[in-house]
């Protein structure tokens, strides 16, 4: 393949991703993630995944996209902003993570990703590939970093210099050679705000997050009772947690998203502390219809609300 079509194809894909609503698009060579391999192994050996046993599965596939898509040559990483223009009205009410304000991101992103893959096939030719949104063993933050979309912060989130970290990450792994972007510099410097602010000490060291101590883990992933040792440390979070992102200086550049599917329902924003404590399954189904909050189910959310309220 000559340089000319490779350049054209790259420009074409990036232009179409923007038209479909993605905020950023970066591309890297589909290769073995050498730098991440020892880190992932150490993280798993330290049992920092807690009961997220799926993190142990497909170790090789997590590190090599060519095992997911035979013949893969490029990983196209895409970012979609979810930062809301409004927040929950009652500051004393149980809080949910901003990423769950609107419709479930898995569906929203796939509605943009699948057309992008179709566009590539229609305009470039016989290209094989797969789309990924948190649904397979893909190290999305590592690929976004390699694609120059940001650096991995000390809270392990991808941080974009222009607009912070409130982004969903998705990938397109294809067997088409493209022009590749390079990584950007780490701009965290000596800042430790995220580490200092975490109430459960989940950020055990700079760039290392112990998933089994994270409020998001306790309120979403953990299926049994929340241990009493973290009682009083949740800062009112009932689903997920945004503390390490809220205190990050780079998020002063965050701008409200323009995605209609991420706009929160007025009823959700208007729930008072009392409404949350008296939440019924009927209200749960109505308010969180098509929401990522459904993942914890009514019983799980009820457990979380009780835990932070008593």
Assess whether 159 and 199 both reside in one domain.
no
Please indicate, yes or no, if residue 40 is contained in any of the structural domains: yes
What was the pLDDT predicted at 2?
A: 43
What was the pLDDT predicted at 49?
A: 55
What was the pLDDT predicted at 139?
A: 86
Helical (H) or strand (E) element with 9: helix 3-19
Report, in this order, helix, strand and coil percent for the chain, each rounded to 5.
45, 15, 45
For the segment 178-230, what is each residue's pLDDT rounded down to a tens digit?
999 999 999 999 999 999 999 999 998 899 899 889 999 999 999 999 999 99
For the segment 253-292, what is each residue's pLDDT rounded down to a tens digit?
999 999 999 999 999 999 999 999 999 999 999 999 999 9
Assess whether 285 and 146 both reside in one domain.
no
Assess whether 224 and 150 both reside in one domain.
no
DSSP assignment of 85-111 equals S---S-TTS-EE-GGGSSS-HHHHHHH
Please indicate, yes or no, if residue 186 is contained in any of the structural domains: no
For the segment 34-86, what is each residue's pLDDT rounded down to a tens digit?
777 667 666 656 655 555 545 555 567 778 899 889 999 999 999 999 999 99
Please indicate, yes or no, if residue 91 is contained in any of the structural domains: no
Q: Which domain holds residue 81?
A: 3-86+99-174
Q: What is the average pLDDT across 243-250? A: 98
Please indicate, yes or no, if residue 184 is contained in any of the structural domains: no
Please indicate, yes or no, if residue 237 is contained in any of the structural domains: yes
Full-model pTM? 0.92
For the segment 143-184, what is each residue's pLDDT rounded down to a tens digit?
999 999 999 999 999 999 999 999 999 999 999 999 999 999
Q: Considering its fold, how many domains does the chain have in total? A: 2
Q: Which residues are catalytic?
A: 134
Gyration radius (Cα) of the chain, Å? 20
């Amino acid at each position: 393949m000559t340089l000319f079509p490779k350049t054209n194809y790259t420009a074409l894909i990036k232009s179409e991703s923007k038209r479909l609503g993605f905020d950023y698009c970066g591309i890297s060579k589909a290769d073995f993630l050498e730098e991440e391999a020892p880190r992932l192994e150490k993280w798993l050996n330290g049992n920092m995944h807690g009961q997220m046993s799926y993190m142990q599965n497909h170790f090789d596939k997590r590190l090599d996209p060519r095992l997911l898509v035979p013949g893969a040559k490029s990983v196209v990483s895409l970012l979609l902003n979810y930062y809301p223009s409004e927040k929950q009205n009652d500051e004393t009410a149980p809080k949910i993570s901003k990423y769950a304000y609107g419709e479930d991101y898995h569906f929203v992103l796939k509605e943009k990703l699948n057309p992008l893959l179709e566009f590539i096939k229609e305009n470039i030719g016989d290209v094989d590939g797969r789309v990924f949104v948190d649904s397979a063993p893909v190290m999305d933050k590592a690929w976004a970093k390699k694609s120059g979309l940001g650096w991995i912060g000390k809270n392990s989130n991808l941080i974009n210099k222009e607009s912070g970290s409130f982004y969903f990450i998705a990938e397109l792994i294809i067997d088409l050679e493209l022009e590749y972007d390079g990584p950007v510099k780490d701009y965290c410097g000596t800042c430790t705000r995220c580490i200092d602010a975490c109430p459960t000490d989940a950020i055990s060291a700079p760039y290392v997050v112990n998933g089994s101590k994270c409020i998001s883990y306790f309120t979403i992933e953990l299926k049994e009772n929340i241990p009493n040792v973290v009682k009083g440390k949740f800062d009112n979070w009932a689903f997920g947690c945004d503390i390490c992102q809220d205190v990050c200086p780079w998020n002063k550049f965050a701008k409200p998203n323009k995605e209609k599917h991420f706009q929160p329902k007025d009823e959700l924003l208007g729930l008072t502390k009392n409404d949350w404590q008296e939440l019924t399954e009927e209200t749960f189904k109505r308010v969180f219809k098509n929401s990522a909050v459904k993942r914890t189910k009514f019983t799980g959310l009820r457990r979380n609300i009780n835990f932070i309220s008593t």
